[in-house]
Structure 1
């Protein structure tokens, strides 16, 4: 039988979430087509910077098309038994409009530089609207750390 660790405090869960956003590189990114279209999910590398999750993908990718049409995204970061779930609103930033500083930071953090590839890439600034984090069933209550873009926990 697996022993479950005690539930973390909300403050610890928020700090662990911020550490994960700053320390992880990859997320599962899920979108849906406009007007009830088919869901689409793929792994992408990301950069957490100034409260924004930055992702980039080829402009012709179904994920990019969905984001350009709808602007809502779900991100799953971490293992299923220690997950951060981010629901965000996206703003598209064409590759040509990405500052050199942001492009360099993204490339350094992710190990991938969309500017150095062939084909049109678009960056998306994902602004978290809702963030949840939990490890086990004992953390399901209180898993919301952010709602409507505002942290529910101080510190």
Structure 2
């Protein structure tokens, strides 16, 4: 890749990030079990109320790891235009998920895990750290959130 554009400023990076969180469907979800065995899967997500919301079966490796580990790293995009989100995780059963999150998930994906014949749970990922960069020239200034607080 040949760099032809100057790096985006922090405000533009945050605007671009929030736009991507609203429009993209899939996020890579990285977890590990108690023995450190990594797991990486794509899941649908929705950005609602300052958190990312995911849904999966509680018996999958990802479901168990999110529940038991309480932390995850999420990634959007490819290596040239990447968003990394590190966050705390909280699990909600289909009957206890906040309605705003479940309805936003349904509106975005067209799927309602609460109505599925198999049991699904929701996971709220509350961002603690967010990095955004589009190419090597944007490495400086890539941290938009630290310790759960926007720095932009």
Q: TM-score, normalised by structure 2?
A: 0.93
Alignment of 1:24-63 (within 5 A): 24-34=24-34, 36-63=35-62
Alpha carbons 2:72, 2:89 under 8 Å: kept: yes
Q: Distance in 1 between matches of 2:115 and 2:19?
A: 29
Counterpart of 1:118 in 2: which secondary structure?
coil
Q: TM-score, normalised by structure 1?
A: 0.92
Aligned to 2:151: 152
Q: Distance in 2 between matches of 1:100 and 1:136?
A: 38
Alpha carbons 2:48, 2:100 under 8 Å: kept: no
Q: Distance in 1 between matches of 2:3 and 2:93?
A: 48
Alpha carbons 1:4, 1:136 under 8 Å: kept: no
Counterpart of 2:114 in 1: which secondary structure?
helix
For structure 1, the 5+ residue unaligned runs are none
Equivalences, count: 152
For structure 2, the 5+ residue unaligned runs are none
Change (3 A) 1:117 1:148: same
Aligned to 1:13: 13
